[in-house]
Structure 1
């Protein structure tokens, strides 16, 4: 299944007491849809999922679905390192009306490849929703090998993977050996164009909060055959992409949104806001980029 080309892994807006902020969330959803986003991933890592309660996740799913009102697909982050808990949250997301779910590799437990397969298979059997797998060894401490993803792609409703291992050889193997209908998204903004060049579908992006239209333009230019322009745009966008990961995400992108007039509040502990030096460095990159528009 194709969820679109540029999906945004949405930050979770908080108020001054770091509670979910419904109005800020509505504003952010509308802003993203108006600025290049083809689909929204809710309560993923960028949405600070480790610090969201189950009830908060459900509230967030409902709120984003209501606000999007069918304009773009909404993918609910229901993955965790607890298989039964993921199954329960997935069922509730399906009842609420999510268009799909994203399942991260179980972190901390460090399961074997067979354990990963059985985990995702069990969740897939509990729902009719299309599933995007999410491989991010840098955060989860386990790398789901291409062979495991290829095997999982044989399950009817496992239709996609967000590949954030940074390994283009692995991505190429997945693209080559899965059904044509199976989609592979980059989980790294800076690898969007390289992944497209080997047959990938698009990006699940953090940077699209700030440069969504430009990311969309880059993808569409490449697909239209204007590779030189797409490459030029990639190089121009790279400093912004890098600046948004200069400190633990999503602190930089939340700060950048504030700089661009979109209020989303601060991050919850154990993350901390940018310090003065980090904020100044980010502000300089955003200012320089905005001045070149």
Structure 2
């Protein structure tokens, strides 16, 4: 598993009646693949995994793997409250043919140091799939500390970290402590260029769902040392990237996909599509972005 590059956390596409819209899902996958992304992540927050049934998750994973057909790795996100459920999805992911796992700390319970480490090790020891630990204390209230990563280094298949602490210096802190033991991928769109410049290996991206070419261009320019070229795109992109750090990021990004022609805005309850002043505000941000979209 090569944990380097741009990994879209793709949205799950629905029809207005709430049923899966696989045709639009595949259309968006085409846009991602044509733009040169390096992997696809299924079942994250943007994928609305919490409102999908078990059968729908299996269908989405199976059909995505079949459609992508080995062109890039497919990563399955695991966000569960019970250790046995996380192990179930690790085993199911292996059975379905995913290339790796993205793993959050236990959900809905504020686990302590020992419990978090034990949870991660239990899942890692249950599978040979490579794992990326998702470290997002802002949204999920559990900080995976450096001392936890010290203990997790014993699990060879824990290979990468989705860095979403909002602390850019954590990239340097992790490099100083672990060298290249863990690959580091930025998980916050508004800090992506900064963390890539500081040595992050990749970008788990959100607005890539609507703007894949621009996202990949920023990554490629930074890694080629062409910072001015990257910065020109990044400055244009930032008002759009800020849609990723709002509690309604799913609705915002899905609306951006729809306006960009590669998605629909339909979400599942309890989420609702945008209305009123909020909708006008977000539409205006997206409209300005589309009107001034850079020529690559």
TM-score by length of 1: 0.94
Cα distance in structure 2, aligned partners of 1:155 and 1:57: 27
The equivalent residue for 2:48 is 48
Partner of 2:4: 4
| Distance across 2 between alignment mates of 1:13 and 1:256 | 13
Name the residue aligned to 1:206: 206
- Look up the match of 1:276: 276
- Show CA shifts across 1:83-140 (max 9, x none): 1001011101101100001111222210011111110100001111000111112221
**Superposition deviation, residue 2 in structure 1:** 2.5
Shift of 1:254: 0.7
**4+ aligned runs moved over 3 Å, structure 1:** 243-247
What is residue 263 of structure 1 aligned with on the other side?
Answer: 263
- State the TM-score, normalized to the length of structure 2: 0.93
Other-structure match for 2:64: 64
The range that moved more, 81-90 or 241-250, is 241-250
Cα 1:244–1:282 change in 2 (3 A) is: farther
Question: Where does structure 1 lack aligned partners over 5 or more consecutive residues?
Answer: none
The CA distance in 1 between the partners of 2:3 and 2:232, in whole Å, is 26
Structure 1's 185 and 150: CA in aligned 2 closer, same or farther, altered over 3 A?
farther
Aligned to 2:238: 238
Counterpart CA distance in 2 for 1:246 and 1:184 is 23
Q: Secondary structure at the match of 1:80?
A: coil
Aligned-residue offset at 1:216: 1.4
Q: Structure 1 residue 57: deviation in Å?
A: 1.2
Give the secondary structure class of the aligned counterpart of 1:29: helix
Q: Distance in 1 between matches of 2:200 and 2:21?
A: 35
Offset, 1:146: 2.2
Give, in angstroms, the shift of residue 149 of structure 1.
2.3
Report whether the alignment pairs 1:226 with 2:235.
no
Q: How many residues align?
A: 293
Q: Secondary structure at the match of 2:160?
A: strand
**Secondary structure class of the residue paired with 1:214:** helix
Alpha-carbon distance, 1:247 to partner: 5.1
2-structure distance, mates of 1:279, 1:70: 38
**Two-structure CA RMSD over aligned residues (Å):** 1.7
The residue number in structure 2 matching 1:156 is: 156
Distance in 2 between residues matched to 1:151 and 1:170, nearest whole Å: 18
8 Å contact from structure 2 (residues 81, 109) kept in 1: yes
